[in-house]
Every structure is written in structure tokens, then in C-alpha cells.
Amino acid sequence: MQTYARILGILFGTMMFLLSAVIMLETLLRKLFSISLGGIDELGGYAIAVAAPLAFTLALIDNSHIRINQLTSRLPSQAQAVLNAVAMLSIALLSIFFFYFTVETVLDTHTYKSIAQTPLATPLIYPQSIWLVAMLTFPAAAVILALRALARLIQRDWPSLLQQFGPVSAQQELQAELDDLKKRESYTP
């Protein structure tokens, strides 16, 4: 799962860095020479629509999706473990919900041969097909993780549910930052 996350992260970063370069070029050309590359806004919109599901998946694998655990952290650990499993199942349902509506939208686009309301008049089926593939990465990971959590629940494996599926605690987040700081301080170019 970590390799999967890394690949998604690299794809995400590549899109964002390339897009930043193109947007900067477009802005400079527009302001300095009144030239426009044309369609960069539109491209940016498609890029984020495709990149966002990858980011949802990464946040999921890292247990980073926002959960409020101020009250539940006071519950017995068994109850917290059960809630972790419920959270994983619920987010898998959310990912299926998203995917279902993505498929519906793309099918509609296909049926009506929808075209973007932009100067380029891009047929939406092209960017939306890539969006559909990107959107599939989310349920692909979410369902596997939910099934794992469900298996742990059936086995009554509370420690695993607590460790692997609990929200990232502030303590863990802080430790990660402190480790990174140490790495930066010891860095010599």
C-alpha cells in the first residue's frame, strides 16, 4: 500500500510542478508581452480534478482524513477500535459514492457529447475519462483497507485496529516534524 501511495504522490507532484511552471510562463508572457498560451486555466482545472482523487487516496492511506476524536479518545480502547473500523467502512462507502457519480457524469458526457464552455471547446469526454481513472484509485484503496479493518474486527484484533486505523495523533505528527527537522539540520550539501 505504501508503494501505491508513493506512486500516486509522484504523479500528483509531477502534475503540480509542471502546472506551476506552465502557469508561471503563461502569467509572465501575458503581462510582459501580452501573449497568451491559451487554455491554461482550463488545463489547470482538469489537472486538479484528476489530481484531487489521488490526494484523497494518499490522505486515506496515511490515516490523515480529518476525524474529531476528542470525545472518543476517552472511550475504552475496544470501543475506539470498533469506531476505527466503522470510520474505514464509512470512507469506503464515500469513495464508492464518489466513483458511482463520476461514472454517471462521464456516461452523461458521452451520451450528450458535452463540450467545455471555453474558447477551446474541449470535448469533455477526454479530460473526464482521465478523471474517471483517477477517481478509481480512491475506492481501490478504500475498499481494500475497509476489508482489512473488517477482518480485524471479526477477529476482534483490537490492537491492530487501534494502531493501523486510528487517526494520526498530534503526538505522531509532531514526532514526524521533529524527525524531519533533525534530518534537515544534519544535511550538508
Q: Segment 146-165, which members bind other proteins (CB under 8 A)?
A: none
How many residues bind other proteins, per CB under 8 A?
Answer: 74
Task: Identify which of 15, 100, 104 has the alpha carbon closest to the alpha carbon of residue 54.
Answer: 15
Is 35 among the residues that bind other proteins (CB under 8 A)? no
Shortest distance in whole angstroms from residue 41 CB to other proteins? 7
Is 60 among the residues that bind other proteins (CB under 8 A)? yes
Please give the distance of CA 96 from its chain centroid, rounded to a whole number: 14
- Sole window of 91-99, 145-153, 154-162 interacting with other proteins (rule: CB under 8 A): 91-99
Q: Can you tell me which of 81, 85, 122, 128 binds other proteins, judged by CB under 8 A?
A: 128
Q: Can you tell me which of 4, 29, 39, 59 binds other proteins, judged by CB under 8 A?
A: 59
Is 167 among the residues that bind other proteins (CB under 8 A)? yes
Shortest distance in whole angstroms from residue 81 CB to other proteins? 12
- Sole window of 19-27, 148-156, 157-165 interacting with other proteins (rule: CB under 8 A): 19-27
Is 143 among the residues that bind other proteins (CB under 8 A)? no
